[in-house]
Amino acid sequence: MSDLFAPLGAAVISRKGALRLEQGHVWVYRSDVVSLPASMAGVVEVVGERGRPYGMALASPDSMITLRLVTRGKTAVTADLVRERLVQAFARRTQLYGGGDAFRWVHGEGDLLPSIFVDRFGDALTLQMLSAAADAWQAFLVECLVEVARPRAVVVRNDATARRREGLATDIQVAHGAAPVLARYHEGDLALEVDLLADQKTGGFLDQATNHVRAAEFARGAEALDCFTYHGGFALQLARVATHVTAVDSSAAALVRARANAERAGLGNLAFEQADVFELLPELLRTGRRFDVVVLDPPAFASNKASEDRARRAYKEINLRGLKLLVPGGLLVTCSCSGRITPAAFDEIIAEAARDAQRDVQILERRGAGPDHPVLVGVPETDYLKCRIVRAL
């Protein structure tokens, strides 16, 4: 076990990389690494060019994010330290959520466990690792999760696109328990079901859970449209206050799950439609359909710097059409999970869409991910989810 945490040696970083750490960030990019002690992934000491110690990091030589700081100064990375951070993160979540049965237990850098993510869905957990160095800790992490939470199952969801960018293999496996792993959990008092081996992301979108509930607290009216509904997170909550909800997604499998969730909740005022939202919105406008509430919760459009301009155009397009579909006084709930689109940039996109739609709009609330997805000060990448609740006048 000790070999997992034994430092491989010292990684030397440039002044630019050191300044980034001094300003509170925990990443050092490849361009700011002067030298690495080994070509293999593992724990390394991080020092400046004059020998100043900055901490201990997870090193992934093949990644653009070569170093991810775990501790600062001369604090060693040990099994006890990692285990204690897992325990502390779990205690913080249970304090926040009380008897709640779903939350993100570990939010990577936000919980000082960089590139490691753990989600709880009822009595089952998912574990995801997004760096080569964290991969080596898999068995240890699973052992700790079972020890702390006594779950029925732990599913390793190492199928994220980010792993491909890191040069890592992708797979999904049951590390504790047995397949299949269907899990029941709640958003508010609505019961949902997720297949932790087959569904998207780590199974569900826990970062939006509080926004799903909050949107329904604002929404009223006869007709609601939920675009990119996935398992019906927004649609199911809206169905409790709206006369009728149309829920749209391009994935047939996601809609099967959404329909089952609606039936389980006894909600019969939803229509589920498989469609490409970019094709559907213009058609709805052409036919004169209008809604009291429109929800836009698309997948990430910007995965790297090269896609930022294209992403901005895509966000503007759907927000423009969403605003045009609203009745006077209607509510737009619009979201972006693209980390490269900053909160300020997202507000600018909404403003541009409003001008082109010739609608005056009020931002009623600016929201992000729930408190189980903490933003680490100094690491803006942890503040990735934007949710705006907007009224169109």
Q: Say which CATH number the domain at 40 has.
A: 2.30.130.10
List the 116-121 sheet strands across, edge first. Answer: 102-107, 116-121, 124-129, 153-158, 171-176
195, part of any domain: no
pLDDT at 306: 64
Tell which of 29, 51, 72 closes a domain. Answer: 72
User: What's residue 339's pLDDT?
Assistant: 79
Are 56 and 85 contained in the same domain? no
109 closest CA partner among 69, 156, 79: 69
Q: Report d(CA 245, CA 291) in Å as an integer.
A: 9
Domain contains 272: yes
Residues 142 and 27 both lie in one domain: no
- Residue 125 CA to residue 382 CA, distance in Å, equals 21
Q: Give the pLDDT confidence score for residue 239 in this predicted structure.
A: 95
CATH code of the domain in which 142 resides: 3.30.750.80
Q: What is the CATH number of the domain that holds 215?
A: 3.40.50.150
The residues of the chain scoring below 50 in pLDDT are none
- Final residue of a structural domain among 72, 94, 127: 72
Whether residue 217 is found in the same domain as residue 178: no
Cα 128 from Cα 42, distance rounded (Å): 17
What pLDDT score was predicted for residue 338?
84
Same structural domain, 164 and 217 = no
Residues belonging to the active site: 337
pTM above 0.85, yes or no: yes
Number of separate domains in the chain? 3
Domain encompassing residue 385:
205-392
pLDDT of residue 304: 62
R_g of the chain computed on alpha carbons = 22
Residues 67 and 88 in one domain: no
pLDDT of residue 302: 58
pLDDT score, position 5 = 94
Please confirm whether the linkage preceding 180 is cis (ω < 30° from 0).
yes
Looking at residue 151, its pLDDT comes to: 97
Q: How confident is the model at residue 303, as a pLDDT?
A: 63
Sign of the dihedral defined by the CA atoms of residues 20, 24, 29, 32, in that order:
positive
Let me know whether 154 and 106 are in one domain: yes
Nearest to 153 by CA among 133, 123, 131, 127: 123
Based on the domain organization, do 57 and 150 belong to the same domain? Answer: no
Residue 91 domain-assigned (yes or no): yes
Residues 222 and 258 in one domain: yes
What is Dmax (Cα atoms) for the chain? 68
- What is the rounded distance in angstroms from the CA atom of residue 134 to the CA atom of residue 52? 25
Q: Are residues 124 and 213 in the same domain?
A: no
Q: Does any domain span residue 198?
A: no
For residues 102 and 188, give the distance between their C-alpha atoms in angstroms, rounded to a whole number. Answer: 10
Q: Pinpoint the alpha helices (H) of 65-198.
A: 79-97, 132-135, 138-149, 161-165
- Same domain assignment for residues 386 and 274: yes
Q: Is residue 200 part of a domain?
A: no
Residues 317 and 180 in one domain: no
Last-in-domain residue among 131, 150, 185: 185
Same domain, 360 and 264: yes
The answer as to whether 192 is a domain residue is: no
Is 193 a member of any domain?
A: no
- Asked whether residue 199 is assigned to any structural domain, the reply reads no
